[in-house]
Amino acid sequence: MTTVEKQIEFKNKILVGLEKVYERLIEFKKQKNTELVIMKDNKIVKIKPQ
């Protein structure tokens, strides 16, 4: 396995991990019935997860 292949594999693992964290965050916010704070069009917005 070359260095480039290792980097690609590592990048893919990071992306999968970030997707799992995002899903868990949304699930947590739903359970606690709290707002999710995001940035949209350079403005801070609070939304309810659905």
pTM for this structure?
0.75
Whole-number Å distance between alpha carbons of 9 and 21: 19
Q: Which residues in the chain land under pLDDT 70?
A: none
For residues 35, 29, 50, 20, the Cα torsion angle rounded to the nearest 10 degrees is 130
Domain boundaries, the chain: 3-47
What pLDDT is stored for residue 50 in this prediction? 78
For the purposes of burial, counting CB atoms within 10 Å of the CB of 49, is it exposed (0-12), middle (13-18) or buried (19 or more)? middle
What pLDDT is stored for residue 35 in this prediction? 94
What pLDDT is stored for residue 49 in this prediction? 82
What pLDDT is stored for residue 1 in this prediction? 80
Whole-number Å distance between alpha carbons of 26 and 34: 10
Whole-number Å distance between alpha carbons of 41 and 45: 9
